[in-house]
Structure 1
Amino acid sequence: MRDQHARAAKALDVQTEPSGEFRGCPGVHRRRATGWLRLVSAPEDKASGKPGDGVPHAEHAFGDLDGHRPALLAVHDTVDDGTAYRAELPARVDQPILSDDPILQHDLRLPDSWWPELAGTLEKASVVDTDRVAVRRRYMDRAISQFVGILAPAATCWTGAHSDVQWANPTEPLRLVDWEGWGRAPEEFDAVTLYAYTLFQPDTAARVRTVFPILGSPVGHAAEATVCAQLLQTVSRGDNLILEGLFRDWSEELRGR
């Protein structure tokens, strides 16, 4: 991956910082350059030569979302020894992300204007029509029953969603990064995801509920059950353990509705 990353940087004529390497899920490798030079890989026969199409599709669908989403500057595709590689170069985000951890571990002093900007950005993303899928009904049926203990609620509406709105992805002033997983999801999925990762900070969680009043309503029930199931599943794998008790309280409240 490092060799392919260096080749992509040379092909795109960008300089990377040797100390700026980050790794995400398997097959994702990125370094700080003009933006994040993100490299993804997949077997050629499964990727059709072009793995990780979420960000280019987001660029086409959203543009820069009035400056709240980093524009995609360039893409470089290559295939080597049966593996397809895609390098993506978004515009640089100079503002630091709000948290090094998806879970909000400390109180944030965000300006009042930040919250309606976030709500407006997510609203604009939600109305974009797409055949990309972020959450599958099949998954909801299985996971909600297993981890929440109820039948999966019917989603009254499916909308476009970033699908990973947690505290390691926004900045202040507002830019929302990491759009590779966007697609259709139950209505208000993004707001519910942010709320879930805020539970450790009750004051900020209350602010999220104020900004997104659909939380706790029948309309948001499907999204809440889905996110709760997803995160309890991560707990079963040893992740997000700091929030396990709060997630289980949440699942009990969902069962009681």
Structure 2
Amino acid sequence: MPPAAPRPRLLGLRDWSADRWSYRGELYEIVETPPVAMSPVLCDGAKLPDSWWEDLQQALDQIALVRTDRQAVREEYIRRRVPEFTGFPLGDIAWTTAHGDLHWANLTGPALTLMDWEGWDTAPVGYDVANLYLHSLPVPDVAERVRKEFAHVLGTPAGLVGELTASTEILQAATRVPFYAALADRVRQHVGRLVALR
């Protein structure tokens, strides 16, 4: 990852196998700055400086330039589950490299660090910022700020697939994850707005 993606420094790693499973342990430096929220879903306002939003934009732009064959979200999952949960038929999918788990508990503030990197891979364009937006829905002014800062992605035809994919994952997880169950109605309403615009 490029230096423009602020993240904890990797101090060491170890790979091993046991009982036909492969494992990897990674040791990172301690991050002193607290996360923006203790839960992935934002429940209170986030007072973040304009520079934080600029740093996040720059970090995601730099991550998108990294080449990888890994996948954060498999295409077969997207093509099967997105129409099932949203009723929206999919055409082409534009791919980019993504953090893969971008939500408020994985971002620090007021100084930005992106944490929790085991899921970085390719994902549909807009997937990262769609996740951040959806996890912001309980705080409308922050959700609106996310849409404003990333308007060049959210609301575009390419970014629509990322939004629908992130929405599908939350809706599918709502039956087993309490904070997603609490978020599900807002996500359904958002999906309804997205589909109505198309």
Task: Specify which of 174, 177, 190 is matched with residue 235 of structure 1.
Answer: 174
Aligned to 2:131: 193
Alignment partner of 1:162 is 2:99: yes
Asked if structure 1 preserves the Cα contact closer than 8 Å seen for 2:4 and 2:58, the reply is no
Q: CA deviation at 1:81?
A: 5.8
Residues 107/131 of structure 1: CA separation in 2 closer, same or farther (3 Å cut): same
Residue segments in structure 1 that go unaligned for 5+ positions in a row: 1-61
Aligned to 1:220: 159
Q: State how many pairs are aligned.
A: 194
Give the Cα separation in 1 of the matches to 2:129 and 2:18: 40
Q: Which is higher, the Rg of structure 1 or of structure 2?
A: 1
Asked if structure 1 preserves the Cα contact closer than 8 Å seen for 2:106 and 2:114, the reply is yes
Give the Cα separation in 2 of the matches to 1:150 and 1:80: 42
Residues 83/104 of structure 1: CA separation in 2 closer, same or farther (3 Å cut): same
Aligned to 1:144: 82
Give the Cα separation in 1 of the matches to 2:159 and 2:20: 44
Task: Specify which of 32, 52, 64 is matched with residue 94 of structure 1.
Answer: 32
Q: CA deviation at 1:77?
A: 3.0
Partner deviation per Cα, 1:72-100 (whole Å, 9 max, x = no partner) = 11012344565544321112211111111
Give the Cα separation in 2 of the matches to 1:123 and 1:178: 18
Alignment partner of 1:117 is 2:60: no
**Higher relative contact order (CA closer than 8 Å, sequence separation 6+):** 2
Q: CA deviation at 1:201?
A: 0.5
Q: CA deviation at 1:111?
A: 1.0
Residue segments in structure 2 that go unaligned for 5+ positions in a row: none
Residues 79/230 of structure 1: CA separation in 2 closer, same or farther (3 Å cut): closer
Normalised to the residue count of structure 2, the TM-score between the two structures is 0.91
Aligned to 1:203: 141
Give the Cα separation in 1 of the matches to 2:69 and 2:75: 14
Give the Cα separation in 1 of the matches to 2:69 and 2:63: 14
Asked if structure 2 preserves the Cα contact closer than 8 Å seen for 1:164 and 1:190, the reply is yes
Aligned to 1:36: none
Give the Cα separation in 2 of the matches to 1:194 and 1:152: 22
Task: Specify which of 127, 131, 156 is matched with residue 65 of structure 2.
Answer: 127
Alignment partner of 1:255 is 2:191: no
Aligned to 1:53: none
Give the Cα separation in 1 of the matches to 2:9 and 2:19: 31
Aligned to 1:245: 185
Normalised to the residue count of structure 1, the TM-score between the two structures is 0.71
Give the Cα separation in 2 of the matches to 1:106 and 1:153: 37
Asked if structure 2 preserves the Cα contact closer than 8 Å seen for 1:99 and 1:167, the reply is yes
Asked if structure 1 preserves the Cα contact closer than 8 Å seen for 2:5 and 2:114, the reply is no
Q: How does 1:3-14 map to 2 (within 5 A)?
A: none
Asked if structure 1 preserves the Cα contact closer than 8 Å seen for 2:10 and 2:27, the reply is yes
Asked if structure 2 preserves the Cα contact closer than 8 Å seen for 1:153 and 1:225, the reply is no
Partner deviation per Cα, 1:36-55 (whole Å, 9 max, x = no partner) = xxxxxxxxxxxxxxxxxxxx
